[in-house]
Structure formats: structure tokens, C-alpha cells
Amino acid sequence: MHEHRPVIALAVGDPNGIGPELAIKAAVARGVSGPRPVLVGDPFVLDHYARAIAPDFQLRAYDPASPARADKIEMHPVEALPFGAFMPGRVEAAAGRATVKYVEAALALVRSGAVQAIVACPHNETAVNAAGIAFSGYPELIAQLNGLPEGRVFLMLVGGGLRIVHATLHERIHNALARLTAELVEAAALAAVEALKGLGVAAPRLGLFGVNPHAGEGGLFGNDDEHITIPAAKRLMSRGVNVEGPVGADVMLGMSGFDAFVAMYHDQGHIPVKLVAGRAASALSIGAGVLFSTVGHGSAFDIAGQNKADAGPVLRALALLAGEPNHA
């Protein structure tokens, strides 16, 4: 390559949602500075939005040997969506299937060395499941596509000065708590350390949330922490990980000096990030050895195809993976 800019695959997400619009807007906004986005999606969908949003730009196939140009939008074509299924604003099984194909193609680009990381525009879980593909979010999909055990790719939310990785995610709280083990918490924390180092944090310091209020208060509020988070902390320390806790999430979030926190279940991590960052949050799927980020909002079918979508969160996700400061 002639440039030192990080090249990031930008999978367009559900083609009937706002993803393709966001991808075109983000590519135009990045220009020839910062990370170099390569849009991954159906050419006819990208062409539709490029003509509507950026008529002065031309789509071209990405060539690692050619430098980026200010008047070009680079893409990696994936023919996955039947033309008749392109209906912005509608949930379609074919669009859900295409969403997965775009991610598969982006991962292949990473494996080939053509790109260094992936940002995925919003998906729609209903559409993907309608296609007969079991899907509850990108972490599970990334695990499947990389041949990893279920539950070993984790979600890290980033925004508002917080980074929080989730030991469990989209599941009934009863099942999440039943599945929590010291080994699972340890794996989530180690994935966080790996991801933080990939983002430029040389010596990460982690904070471990307790399962129960006050991390159990010495057994007064349950003994789950004695069996799960306390052993996990000891195992991590024996590995040389700089970790503190478990401490009740409400108290620990008020403490300073942590590069990331480990939450035990969905709401414990999502609520604080969404409260302080809202739609500006970025989501990373970590633990698969690839930098993979998504945005913290959905596919917004109600405004799809109307040129109303804000590309700010996608731009922040690109900046996050490129290691740029002030990305969230």
C-alpha cells in the first residue's frame, strides 16, 4: 500500500435500513484523511444511495495498490440481495440474509490482510432470523463465523468515557445468571485486555462488577460473588491482569482510573453507557482476534431511504478502530 492509513471494511448492515445511507455518508465525510473505509455491500444498493446523496462521487472497486482519491467511494462488491427485495423501510428475510453475507465478506477481507478492522452498520435481528439464521447480535455471529464456542465472543460498549464488556448479553436474566461462571467472567476480562491493547492501551486496568448488590456484602445479599467474581478476579491476577473488584457496579462506576469494566449481564453494562452516550455509543465484538465495531442504534426503518440518517455514530466507530482520540 502507498498509504499508512488504516483500511477498515464498512459492512452496510441491513440494506433496507439506514445502513447503506450511513455508509455512503461516512465514506464521503472521511475523504482522504483518517481511516480509509471500504464499503461492503451490493453494488446496486450502494449506487442507489451514492447517486442520491453524493452525485459528485463515483463508486470504484477497492484496490490496495491504489491510493484513495477524494472523488471516489471505495467498495468491495457482494452480490447478496435480489433486486426485488431492495425495499427501504421494509423488513425482509432476503435483506437479513444479505446482512450476514456482508459480514462474511468483511471477515474474509480481514483474513486476507486487505483490511485491518470492520465496522458494521445496523442490522435487524427480525430480518436475519426470518431468513432462517439463528441470530441475536453480532457477537454470536462473529463467534459462529470464526468457529468459536458460543459465548466466547463478547460485546464491549464504548461511549461517554466508558468501556464496558458484558460477560452475558441477549438472554433471559435467569439464564444469564445460571450461565455465569468464574471461567466465563475470566474469558470476558481477557477478551477486554486483548481488545484494549489493540486500541492502543498498553497496560489495561480492569474493574470487575459484582453480580449482586454490593458484590454480595459478604454473603448478606447472596453468595454468587463468592463462587463467581471473586475466583475470577484471583485467576486474572494470577495471569498478571491488573484487575480490581468485584465491587458493586454503582460504586465502581464512580471510581476513576479504569480502562474498562466487566459487567455480568446486559442492563448492568448497557444502562450506564446509553445514559451518558446515547446513540453516540459504539459496540465492539471482542474475543475473536479481529477488531469489529458496530453503532449503538438500530436500522431505523421509519427513516430509511429518506436521507435523514446521521452518520456521526459510524464515523465515531471508524475513529475508534483507527485509534483516533475523542472518538466517543
Q: Which residue, of 242, 261, 279, is where some domain finishes?
A: 279
Residue 328 has a pLDDT of 44
Residue 127 has a pLDDT of 95
Residue 131 has a pLDDT of 93
- The answer on 89 and 131 residing in a single domain is yes
- The answer on 82 and 27 residing in a single domain is yes
Per-residue pLDDT of the chain (328 residues; tens, 9 = 90+): 345 788 999 999 999 999 999 999 999 998 767 889 999 999 999 999 999 999 999 999 999 888 888 889 999 999 999 999 999 999 999 999 999 999 999 999 999 999 999 999 999 999 999 999 888 778 888 888 888 887 789 999 998 999 999 999 988 999 999 999 999 999 999 999 999 998 889 999 999 999 999 988 888 898 999 999 999 999 999 999 999 999 999 999 999 999 999 999 999 999 999 999 887 788 898 998 888 998 877 899 999 999 999 999 899 889 888 877 554 4
- The answer on 267 and 199 residing in a single domain is yes
- The answer on 221 and 116 residing in a single domain is no
- The answer on 161 and 145 residing in a single domain is no
Q: In this structure, what are the phi and psi dihedrals at residue 179, rounded to the nearest 5 degrees?
A: -90, -15
- The answer on 171 and 293 residing in a single domain is no
C-alpha 328/C-alpha 323 separation (Å) is 11
Backbone φ/ψ region at 275: left (φ over 0), alpha (ψ -120 to 50), beta: alpha
- The answer on 228 and 95 residing in a single domain is no
Residue 155 has a pLDDT of 93
- The answer on 161 and 146 residing in a single domain is no
- The answer on 267 and 120 residing in a single domain is no
Query: Do 261 and 155 form a contact (C-beta atoms < 8 A)?
Result: no
Looking at residue 269, which CATH number applies to its domain?
A: 3.40.718.10
Task: Please give the model's pTM, rounded to 2 decimal places.
Answer: 0.84
Parent domain of 41: 1-153+288-328
Question: Looking at the 3D structure of the chain, how many domains does it have?
Answer: 2
Q: Which residue, of 238, 260, 279, is where some domain finishes?
A: 279
C-alpha 175/C-alpha 249 separation (Å) is 20
- The answer on 275 and 165 residing in a single domain is yes
- The answer on 262 and 310 residing in a single domain is no
- The answer on 258 and 163 residing in a single domain is yes
Cα separations in angstroms, 90 against 51, 94, 106, 299, 303: 21, 11, 24, 11, 11
